[in-house]
Amino acid sequence: MPRRLASGNQMVAEGALAAGCRFFAGYPITPASEIYEVMMRELPACGGVALSAPDEISSLCYCVGASLRGLKAMTATSGPGWALMIETLQYALMTETPVVIALVQRLGPSTGGATQGAQGDIGLAAFATSGGYTVPVFSPSTAAECYELAIHAFNWAERLRTPVVLLSDKEVGMTTEVVEQAALNSPPLAQRQPFAGGRPFLTYGIDYPEDVPRFAPVGGDVKVSVTGSAHDLHGRLRKNAPEVVAVLEHLERKIAAHADEMALVRPDLDPGAPYLLLSYGTTARAARQAVAQLRQNGTRSSLLQIQTLFPVPRRELDWALAGVHTVFVAEENLTGQYRAVLAPYLAGKRVLGINKVGSLITPTEIVRTVRAVEA
């Protein structure tokens, strides 16, 4: 089978191009710069616009402006840049503007360690909006997953008119590895649903709470009223109007209604095994190796690699939890950010975190933790 060597960052860019991305604005930051460089090189050849922004705030604003015109848009950054983008992320969420942010995590807080990996931005990615509205977050663990999940990220951004975060990390983004080119998974492409006429156009018009407003571009034939302020279905600024609350409820319900459909996991389950390892991103690879080692030595255990971090894949979790006694959540942060998110879904199970910062969690460390419980 034809193979190549490629980094996760390279494959994020290729996935974005395959998804139909036609606008990219970026600002340099380790470990995400390669995505920016590839898009600057490749996007004009595909008939799209790629440009250098003067900061991360501008990067995302440019993307949102281009998306309002109907272009599929993406930017790429790491924690320090993401911190600057949060204002505009909220604007994209409130204005229901599709956009993808590739967030390649590095060690924080603050500038932290530019060339050190981490999985410390889970909370920052998922809970960046006032009100705690769900922003879909996809987490790849390999270069091939970077490609596939980039396409999913665009598809869901477009289908649900929402910002989506593609959350990788330095180890996934900057490690070169073998990609089986022919085996790359290319999900069918989705587009935002255009306004087809036949009724008056309302910028935020919905027929039921889970509905997604039909899209009309700024610059097109029907008048569009975009606003990041509390608004009615017309996009008119309103205060204390029931319609405003209905719009806010809709923002969450349109995502929740598709949670099962959005759920992506890579399970390796041994039904009846007492131990379940939960992990994501680069640490899922150590967990996969650890489970193989545990099984070789007679310890029955299961693995659930979670690719859709948000919305939480509850149904898949339930399946994986059947018959499990102890759950281990392995992630490269000290505070167990995703473990805290999962806690309500793990009720009745013993839950242990496997956490570390500064370097990769090793398969041996995971094996040792499980063995300690077994003993």
Partner 1 sequence: MGENVYLAPDAQLPYCRGCGHALVVRHLSHALAQLQLPPRSVALTTDIGCVGLADSLFPYLHTVHTTHGRSTAFATGMALAEAVSPAGLKPVVMIGDGGAMIGLLHLVHAAQLNVDVTVLVHNNFLFGMTGGQHSALTPLGFVTATTPEGNVTPPLDLLALLRAAHAGFLARHFATDAKLADCIARAIAYPGFAVVEILELCTAYGTRWNELTGARLKEIVAQEGYALGPLEPQSARPPFHEHYREIIAAQSRPTATPETIEPTLAAALTDQVRVVVAGSAGERVQSSAALFCRAALHAGLYATQKNDNPVTQGTGFSLAEICLSPRPIEYTGMESLDVVIVTSADGWKELQSNGTFARCRAEALLLLDDELEPQPVPGRILRLPLRRTASPNRAALAALAAWLEMSHILPSEAWQAALANLAANRRTEASDALRIGRQLALDPTATRP
Site for partner 1 in 294-353 (CB under 8 A): none
**DSSP 8-class letter at 207:** S
For partner 1, which residue of 20, 37, 57, 349 counts as binding (CB under 8 A)? 57
For partner 1, which residue of 19, 35, 68, 93 counts as binding (CB under 8 A)? 68
**Residue 217 binding partner 1, by CB under 8 A:** yes
Q: Which amino acid is at 356?
A: K
Binding mask 142-181 for partner 1 (x = CB under 8 A): -----------------------------x--xxxxx--x
Tokens of 350: 């013993």
Determine the distance from the C-alpha atom of residue 306 to the mean position of all C-alpha atoms in its chain, rounded to a whole number: 11
Owner of token pair 């989705």: 190
> Hey, how many other C-beta atoms are within 10 angstroms of the C-beta on 240?
7
Kindly tell me which of 121 and 171 has the beta carbon lying closer to partner 1: 171
Task: Give the integer Cα–Cα distance in Å for 188 and 108.
Answer: 36
**Residue 80 binding partner 1, by CB under 8 A:** no
Site for partner 1 in 263-282 (CB under 8 A): 282
Element (DSSP H or E) covering residue 67: helix 56-68
Element (DSSP H or E) covering residue 321: helix 314-321
**Residue 218 binding partner 1, by CB under 8 A:** yes
Binding mask 231-250 for partner 1 (x = CB under 8 A): ----xxx-------------
**Residue 183 binding partner 1, by CB under 8 A:** no
3-state DSSP assignment of residue 244: helix
3-state DSSP assignment of residue 194: strand
For partner 1, which residue of 19, 23, 120, 122 counts as binding (CB under 8 A)? 23
Name the minimum Å distance from CB 348 to partner 1.
30
Task: Give the integer Cα–Cα distance in Å for 192 and 159.
Answer: 5
Name the minimum Å distance from CB 206 to partner 1.
20
Name the minimum Å distance from CB 64 to partner 1.
6
**Residue 5 binding partner 1, by CB under 8 A:** yes
**Residue 62 binding partner 1, by CB under 8 A:** yes
Q: What is the largest CA-CA distance in the chain?
A: 70
